[in-house]
Structure 1
Amino acid sequence: MIVDYEKNPKNSLIYTSAIVLSFLKESNGKVDFEELYKYCKSQKIEYSIFILTIDWMFLVGLIKEINDRNEVVLCN
């Protein structure tokens, strides 16, 4: 799942994390959760993979929090 080059590399956490990270950086480190999901959906990322990616990015320290305004906040 982290690296799945054989079946579908676009479902790997590394690939989807790169998409989320680039969108967060373009948005100055904060983006509404629903807006981020809509962007990922337009990139053909399934909801379950999206949630798993957000969790994984939080665990490795790339995402600081989802604040009270429902924004995903990038770590400094």
Structure 2
Amino acid sequence: MLVELESHPERSLYYIGARIIHALREAPTGRIEIEWLFKRLNEEGSVRSVPLEYCILAADWLFLLGVVKATSDGDIERCF
């Protein structure tokens, strides 16, 4: 699941995490709502949709790496 090269590489945590980082860099405030992020990951012309569980798991993984943090409002905020 961390790196899924064989069947669906677009569902790997590396790929989804990179898309989350990209969305955070584009956000003017450096923070985004998880619901908005989920919609964005599934609207960008993806070949496959990203399940909500994968989106949350990738955000959790970035949190463990110290790349993002959770705000009191439940948003994701970048730490870089």
Structure 1 length-normalised TM: 0.87
How many residue pairs are counted as aligned between the two chains? 75
Q: Residue in 1 aligned with 2:5?
A: 5
Question: Is 1:33 paired with 2:38?
Answer: no
1:27 and 1:35 map into 2 onto residues whose CA distance is 11
Over 4 Å off, 4+ runs: none
Q: Residue in 1 aligned with 2:53?
A: 48
Contact residue 41 and residue 47 of structure 1 kept, 8 A: no
Tell me the alpha carbon deviations over residues 18-54 of structure 1, each in whole angstroms, 9 at most, x when there is no partner: 1111001100321122111211222421111111101
Structure showing the higher strand proportion among its residues: 1
Q: CA RMSD in A?
A: 1.3
Instruction: Provide the secondary structure at the position in 2 that maps to 1:7.
Output: coil
1:41 and 1:68 map into 2 onto residues whose CA distance is 25
Which of 41, 66, 77 lines up with 1:73 in the alignment? 77
Runs of at least 5 residues in structure 1 that lack an aligned partner in the other structure: none
Structure 2 length-normalised TM: 0.83
Percent identity over paired residues: 31
